Amino acid sequence: MYRFVTTLVLALALGFAFAGPQDNSLTVGTSQEPVVLGDLLNVLGSMAIASEVELWNYVGLYRIDLDAELEPELVTEVATVENGRLVITELPDGAQEVEATLTLRDDIVWSDGHPITTDDVAFVYELSQTPGMSLSSPDYYARLGVEVIDEREFVVTWSPAQSSDLVGSPIPVLPAHVMRPVWDDVQSTVAGLDPEVDAARIGEIYRGFFTDFGSPAAINEGRTVYNGPFMPVRWTPGSALRLERNPNYHLHPENQDAYLRSVEYRFITDTNALLFAIVSGAVDVTSSVSITFDQALSPQITARAVDRYDIWFVPSATWEHLDINQFSHLQQVSDLMLDDVRTRRAIIHGIDRQSMSEALFDGLQPVSHANVSPFDFTYNPDVRQYAYDPEQSVAYLEELGWSRGADGIMQRTTEDGRTVRFELEFVTTAGNAVRERQQQFIAEDLRQVGIEVRINNAPASVVFAPDFLSRAYDGAWTGMFMFAWVSSQASVLNAAGYLCRNAPTPENDFAGQNLGGACSPEFDELRDQAVAELDLDLAVPIYQEMQAVFAEELLAIPLIFRSNPFVVTQGVVNYVASTFNQGYGYPPAAPELVGWVQNGAEQVFDQADYGELYE
């Protein structure tokens, strides 16, 4: 049973408007708030909630449907070998180059009415090729080429091509007519700086460029434009973000007044308070980042579900795990020997992950053994598995020179004569009730084997900010960081997340998603073999061997794969998610078709095809 502070309840009750079908609006409840919107190159880092909100505001060259198939969005057709728009060429070194010839539709415009042209594609490509730009996928953009033919036609080249290149949209588009004048000023400023001496300053300037177009202030001042079905018009930090229908979107149905006019995201970081907002009717649907699995099954919701809500559980490729800081130049990492696989094995053997899943998720969220979802076609079920084994955990620690102190916590004497206590920092998102319960569960288990956990939580907006998330090298966090990677089929096939060269360091201006600095040369070699093989039948065994290496080396500590709960008020149609919808499973599949049956919206997609209804 959840307890609610009376003043909080009253504040929420007074703060929410109950509109819904009356004004054709939709209120989405979420437990996270984006830092910025529109950072489509992920220069400022990646947040699931930002990616979800951006699905309403931005569209790409392609759309990925509920079945993970590509559909044309801004272009006339998807490039394929069959239609002659996709050409594969053998390179002298045995690799392959792929060219995709694409043509923009002639009816696409930005929300201000300005035509979307190849200049918008070329602008993003220019940004991606700028030295010092902190890209989350530097490998991808290093292989990418864009050649503009005219205002509508262009050619995208991948050289060498990788197996992940053909399962997603090739490159985002941004409004060059709005952003380029500011970018030119930025480039003038950077031109006066020394790339080697001022690398950090240059990176900060580039991050500031994206912030200036996507911050709450930028949204409220209308500094940029959008090409999706909806556009953000008002952002009240810590409270809500309002989106309104973009009248210039090219795929609105003819009877668009039967579908949503506006969407409002409510940011309620305390999931208990979010649960109350749902129960009170202040929220129409939940985000992919919202209440926890067990809260979705709580009596507060299920007792009302029969005639008010549908509660769906959708399998996802969302991987909860512990990234471990392995940057050995840091004193804390060196003292605890976190860069030694035996330490990581001691940690995983010391956590009863199965009991945690049963206690918190009724066993419905499976324990993971590597970083690839059981729903992905490359999944390897035969990797090394680490059972809960406290004795084995202690044995690894003793092998490394640790012994229990008087308080039961492990300690050891370093080579320079210092006595070190095994005290491990543990970071996760504050206010996320289920993560905090997982954290307590893990902390108690680890204490039993002599590892003291020091909790250092902060709101998502803090821990996922670039100066924290990507700065393990600088000691922003020094131990374990519990969060989720939301995998798409493209990201699984790209598999760049834990490459040695993708560790964020000063040398690459803290780019890349290997946040803890894990490094396995064998993993890297297998990955580079796998991505070069465009025949997926031949590539799958290599991807499976990568997972085996990942589990053997414990590049991160796997916990569980989520099944995401979605609470949807009855009458809302087409607010549907699947495991790989839009690549990541975020709802909705087609934002322009979300609406209320009371207002004439017709059901096109059925969530029953992609999830399980609570009954």
What is the SS3 string spanning 180-202?
HHHHHHHHHHHHCCCCCCCHHHH
Residue 25's DSSP bridge partners are: 262
Q: Domain-by-domain residue ranges, the chain?
A: 19-38+217-314+566-613, 58-206
Q: What is the pLDDT of residue 18?
A: 54
Class of domain 19-38+217-314+566-613: alpha beta
Q: Which residues does 408 contact at the CB level (< 8 Å), separation at least 6?
A: 447, 450
Among 5-9, 19-23, 283-287, 566-570, name the one with the lowest average pLDDT. Answer: 5-9
The token pair at 141 is 């953009």
State the Cα angle at 349 between 347 and 353, rounded to 5°: 95
Specify the amino acid at residue 30. T
pLDDT band at 196 (very low <50, low <70, confident <90, very high): confident
Q: What is the pLDDT of residue 494?
A: 84
Q: Average pLDDT of the chain?
A: 92
Q: Is the pLDDT of residue 9 over 70?
A: no
Residue 301's DSSP bridge partners are: none
Q: Is the pLDDT of residue 7 over 70?
A: no
Q: What is the pLDDT of residue 4?
A: 32
Chain segment 217-273, per-residue pLDDT in tens? 999 999 999 999 999 999 999 999 999 999 999 999 999 999 999 999 999 989 899
pLDDT, average across residues 105-117:
98
pLDDT, average across residues 453-469:
92
Q: What is the pLDDT of residue 6?
A: 32
Chain segment 536-584, per-residue pLDDT in tens? 899 999 999 999 999 999 999 999 998 889 999 999 999 999 998 888 8
Chain segment 411-422, per-residue pLDDT in tens? 999 999 999 999
Q: What is the pLDDT of residue 135?
A: 85
Q: What is the pLDDT of residue 596?
A: 98
Q: Is the pLDDT of residue 14 over 60?
A: no
Is 3.30.70.2080 the CATH classification of the domain at 58-206?
no
Euclidean distance between the first and final Cα of the chain, in Å? Answer: 20
Q: What is the DSSP string of 88-124?
A: EEE-TTS-EEEEEEEEB-SS-B-TTSPBP-HHHHHHH
Q: What is the pLDDT of residue 476?
A: 97
Full-model pTM: 0.79
| Percent of the chain clearing pLDDT 70 (strictly above) | 97
Query: Shortest CA distance to 211 belongs to which of 121, 134, 110?
Result: 134
pLDDT, average across residues 282-308:
88
The token pair at 43 is 């220069």
CB 144 within 8 A of CB 158: yes
| Percent of the chain clearing pLDDT 90 (strictly above) | 76
CB 311 within 8 A of CB 613: yes
Asked whether the domain spanning 58-206 has the same topology as the one spanning 19-38+217-314+566-613, the reply is no
Among 196-205, 388-397, 565-574, name the one with the lowest average pLDDT. Answer: 196-205
Q: What is the pLDDT of residue 454?
A: 97
d(CA 114, CA 225): 9
Q: Could you give the C-alpha distances from 570 to 52, 305, 404, in angstroms and in order?
A: 22, 9, 57
d(CA 486, CA 531): 20
DSSP class of 367: B
pLDDT band at 17 (very low <50, low <70, confident <90, very high): very low
Chain segment 590-615, per-residue pLDDT in tens? 999 999 999 999 999 999 999 999 88
The token pair at 530 is 């796998």
Top mean-pLDDT range of 221-225, 276-280, 370-374, 581-585: 221-225
Q: What is the pLDDT of residue 297?
A: 86
Strand ranges inside 246-324, DSSP E: 262-267, 285-286, 309-324
Q: Is the pLDDT of residue 359 over 50?
A: yes
How many helices and strands (H and E) does the chain possess? 20, 22
User: To which residue do tokens 């009954």 refer?
Assistant: 615
- Which position has the higher pLDDT, 494 or 82? 82
pLDDT, average across residues 150-163:
96
CB 598 within 8 A of CB 284: no
